[in-house]
Amino acid sequence: MAAYNVSGYIAESISSILNQTFKDFEFIIIDDGSTDDTALIVKKFNDSRISFIQNDGNKGIPFTRNRLLELAKGEYIAILDSDDIAYPERLQLQLDFFSSHPEAALCGGHGKIIDENGIETGTEIIVATDDSINMRMLFGNPFINSSTMFKTEIFRALSGYKNFALAEDFDLFIRISEKHKVRNIDVFLVKYRVHGENITIKRSEEQEKHELEILKNIQENLGISHTENSLSLHKELLTNNLNEGRFLEYFELLFAMKSANLKSKRFDIPKMNQFLFNKWYEILRLKRSNIKALNWYFKKELYSGEYFNFKQFRKMFKSSFRGLIN
C-alpha cells in the first residue's frame, strides 16, 4: 500500500486488509512523504504483520512501489490503493485461483464504486474474465490496479515498475502479459473509491507522454513499424476518443496489427484475427454516418465467414438502412 495524504481514508483501507479471512501475510505500507496525519494514523495500528516505511520526502508512485523489490518477502504481491477497500475474502480467493492456475502470473477481479464517504454508488467496474485479456491490453488496461495480485519472482525479473507516473501499473501488466498468462476472476474483490483527490483522474501531459511510450512498445513487440501517426491512432483507440475523419485509418491500423501478428505470432493467430474483427465491429458501432456500415463489416481484410454473428449483422443492417433513409 503506497500512501500519500490520505488521512481521511487510509484507516478503513488498512482495516480491510487486517480483517482478511486469509491471515498469513506481510502488510507493507509506504508513506510517500505525506504532509497530513497519514503516518500518525498508520502508527496507531498495533499489528505485527504491518511493516511501515516512510520515504524521505515525496518520491512518487513508481519509486514508492519499487521499494517492494527489496522489501517483499512473500511469494505473491497484492496491491491495494490507500483509499480503496478490499472485500474480506479477497486474498484467499486470489490465492485459490493461483493454486488452480499455476501458469498464471497476474490476476485481478471486479470492483464496486464507492464515494468519498464509503457509500456504494450503484456503479460497478466489471472487468473481462475470458482468456482474451492478453489481447485486450492492446487497447486498454483490463485490470483494476487495487484488485491485482502477481508473482513476486516475476515482478523482480521485470525490475519492477518503470518511471511512468499515472501509467506505471498498465506498463507493468503489459510486460507481465508478454511472457505469462494473466487473468481476472469473476468475483468482486475491492471497493474503488472515487473522490475529488483521485490522482488517477488528474490527467497530465506527462501521463499522455508515458501512454505513447507504452503504445510504442506494444507496436514494436507486435512487429509494427510504428510512426507518429500509428501511435496517435492507437492512442485514440486506447482512450476511445475516435475521430470519424480517421475511420479508414483505424481500419488500416487493425489490419497492420493482424498482418504483423501473422509474422511475429505474438498472439494465437485465429484468436487474434477474431479479436481484431470484433474490435473493428465496435468501431463501426461508434461511427455516426454509417451509410455503408454493412460493406465495411464484410471487408475481407478483417472479416471471415466463421465470425458471422446474426446479432451483429442485424445491427449493421439497421445502421446502413437508417443511413440511407437519412
Residue 324, pLDDT score: 47
Domain boundaries, the chain: 2-201, 205-325
Which pLDDT band, with edges at 50, 70 and 90, does 307 fall under? Answer: confident
Q: What are the angstrom distances between the C-alpha of 15 and each of 4, 20, 46, 71?
A: 17, 9, 11, 21
Strands 104-114, 120-125: pairing kind: antiparallel
Query: What's the whole-model pTM score?
Result: 0.89
Strands in 115-203 per DSSP E: 120-125, 149-151, 181-193
Q: Which fold has domain 2-201?
A: Spore Coat Polysaccharide Biosynthesis Protein SpsA; Chain A (3.90.550)
Asked whether the predicted pLDDT for residue 56 surpasses 80, the reply is yes
- CB–CB of 150/71 below 8 Å? no
Q: Which of 182, 152, 154, 158 is nearest to 75 (CA)?
A: 152
What are phi and psi for residue 55, nearest 5 degrees? Answer: -70, 155
Asked whether the predicted pLDDT for residue 201 surpasses 60, the reply is no
Asked whether the predicted pLDDT for residue 313 surpasses 90, the reply is no
Distance, CA of 70 to CA of 78 (rounded, Å)? 15
Q: What are the angstrom distances between the C-alpha of 211 and each of 49, 51, 216, 233?
A: 36, 33, 9, 13
Distance, CA of 141 to CA of 164 (rounded, Å)? 14
What is the 8-class DSSP label of residue 159? Answer: T
Q: What are the angstrom distances between the C-alpha of 247 and each of 14, 90, 105, 243?
A: 47, 42, 36, 7
Q: How many residues does the chain have?
A: 326
Amino acid at 247: F
Residue 298, pLDDT score: 83
Q: Which helix (H) or strand (E) holds 297?
A: helix 293-297
Task: Please write the tens of the pLDDT for every residue from 274-303.
Answer: 999 999 988 888 765 555 677 787 889 998
Residue 49 has which C-alpha cell?
504483520
Residue 320, pLDDT score: 66
Asked whether the predicted pLDDT for residue 198 surpasses 70, the reply is no
Q: Which helix (H) or strand (E) holds 174?
A: helix 168-177
Which pLDDT band, with edges at 50, 70 and 90, does 314 fall under? Answer: confident
Residue 148, pLDDT score: 98
Instruction: Give mean pLDDT, residues 208-237.
Output: 93
